[in-house]
Amino acid sequence: MSMRVDDIRFSYGAGDVLRGVSFTAEYGEFLSVLGPNGVGKSTLFKCMLGLLAPTEGETTIDGKPIREMSAPELARSIAYIPQSHNPVFNFSVLDMVLMGTTAQVGAFSAPGKEQIERAQQALERLGIAHLRDRGYGNVSGGERQMTLIARAIAQRARILVMDEPSASLDFGNRIRLMQTMRTLAADGYAVIQSTHDPDQAFLYSDKVLALYGGRVLAWGRPEETVTDEVISTLYGLDVRVYSLHSGSVRVCLPADIERKEEERSS
């Protein structure tokens, strides 16, 4: 089963932001939505989450349109993990994760033993159980992102939507986060992230959606979509995609690096 986005169009009034975007996110797959700022990635996510109503098209989860789903039903199906989150009150890490269980117990009900155990299991799964009593505002950026992922796991949603989750993280935490997302996809979650990084999209994703000008520029497996032409169009640069390790790894570099190397050799 899957989440299907079918011919989504959206306009804020001054022109179309999304122009017929279609794709499918399968359970057990990691999908990266790749593109520069201003191409409609955040608007697309808001339409997928039911926060914005598209002017045309629809999103379905396991065949059911999200417009027909109640808020609790939608929360049991899809979880959103923002790029950053700064609550007014410095809740403990455990309390932040417990917030993910409200879809099961109700917004005004106190979590019980079952919910606390579920939150603890989510923390343990991500290797951050030692942070449970720390203030969420007192842990690192990488630990905050892991906390929000734990909250999504406690929510029991099988579709995880992440808005540029590694944008503010250092190199080590970016790698750890990508490895965690890759593991969650292998465990049967549909993991969808937006990203600016073509190398990241190629290394970790099962599918890549290249979004440009509100349209789908390319869609498919990374080796089909992360190409010289696509990346050059997305970012307005002359770029070369190089294959390493018999094609199992690709890196994107400015084309002038190749020219400089030729000049050194001549």
pLDDT digits 0-9 by tens, 73-111: 999 999 999 877 777 789 999 999 999 988 777 666 777
Is 29 inside any structural domain? yes
Is 162 inside any structural domain? yes
Is 264 inside any structural domain? no
Query: What CATH number did the domain enclosing 126 receive?
Result: 3.40.50.300
Is 64 inside any structural domain? yes
What is the distance between the alpha carbons of residues 44 and 143, in angstroms, rounded to a whole number? 27
Residue-wise pLDDT for 117-158, tens only, equals 999 999 999 889 999 999 999 998 889 989 999 999 999 999
Task: Write out the residue range of the structural domain in which residue 188 sits.
Answer: 2-226
Is 236 inside any structural domain? no
C-alpha separations of 148 from 15, 31, 50, 90, 231 in Å? 34, 19, 20, 14, 30
User: Looking at the 3D structure of the chain, how many domains does it have?
Assistant: 1
Is 257 inside any structural domain? no
What is the distance between the alpha carbons of residues 159 and 163, in angstroms, rounded to a whole number? 13
- In sequence order, which residues have a C-beta less than 8 Å from that of residue 30 and are 6 or more positions away? 181, 182, 185, 191, 193, 204, 205, 206, 207
Is 262 inside any structural domain? no
Phi, psi of 245 (to 5 degrees): 50, 55
Is 245 inside any structural domain? no
Question: Which pTM does this prediction carry?
Answer: 0.89
